[in-house]
Structure 1
Amino acid sequence: MRVSGFRAMWLLVLFDLPVGTKSQRKRATKFRKLLLEDGFKMMQFSVYMRPCASEENAAVHLQRVKQTLPPLGSVRIMQVTDQQFTRMLCFDGKSRVPTENMPNQLEFF
């Protein structure tokens, strides 16, 4: 069963964290691991994405990210509909590649 492209959401977390000291690297690694544990996938090194079945579901994961924010660094969180996400232009070198698809609803569980 496919969820609506206007109801389904994607959360994108973009960050630039300090890694100059051992403790800063450890905090940055911990933040990345927490994102992965919450179902985010690495889109690029400091860009993680997560599909959400609804805006309410996205709010739950948004709150989890906010609770794990590191004390230093810049973190931006963007919420877009599946329809907006699929309009993203993606390239590998000069070759156009398709955007990720929203998983089927059963895959959310």
Structure 2
Amino acid sequence: MFDLPVLTKKERKEANAFRKRLQNQGFERCQFSIYMRWCPGKEVAERHVKQIKGFLPEGGKVDIVTITDKQYERIITFVSSRRASKKKRDQYTLF
């Protein structure tokens, strides 16, 4: 989750570049300033934390929350006032 300054043209350009870098690292957008990525382990997650810290624009704020697969499965989503149907999340398989 992040909050970036976007008052000037330069700040907007830096914010867009930040979003693109997240996407290039395999993050997907959940909401405008909330991105998520599945990591196969703690070491991979820590590597992404270091990379994000390295390209965070001046004046930006990032909060990183790590949750387990089980915790993610328990997310309840509402669309309007109705409970959304559960999406089946595929786990990645490497060969």
Q: What is the TM-score with the length of structure 2 in the denominator?
A: 0.86
Structure number having the greater strand percentage:
1
Shift of 1:103: 2.6
Distance in 2, Cα, partners of 1:26 & 1:103: 34
Shift of 1:95: 2.3
Q: Deviations over 1:48-78 (max 9, x none)?
A: 0000111112111122111111111221111
- Which of the pair has the greater relative contact order for Cα pairs under 8 Å at 6+ separation? 1
In the alignment, structure 2 segments of 5+ residues that lack a partner are none
Q: Percent sequence identity over matched residues? A: 43
RMSD, aligned α-carbons? 1.8
Distance in 1, Cα, partners of 2:89 & 2:72: 9
What is the aligned partner in structure 1 of residue 91 from structure 2?
103
4+ aligned runs moved over 3 Å, structure 1: none
* Structure 1 residue 85 corresponds to structure 2 residue 79: no
Equivalent residues, number:
94
In the alignment, structure 1 segments of 5+ residues that lack a partner are 1-13
- 3-state DSSP of counterpart to 1:28: helix
AA at the equivalent of 2:2:
F
1:6-17 to 2 correspondences below 5 Å: 14-17=1-4
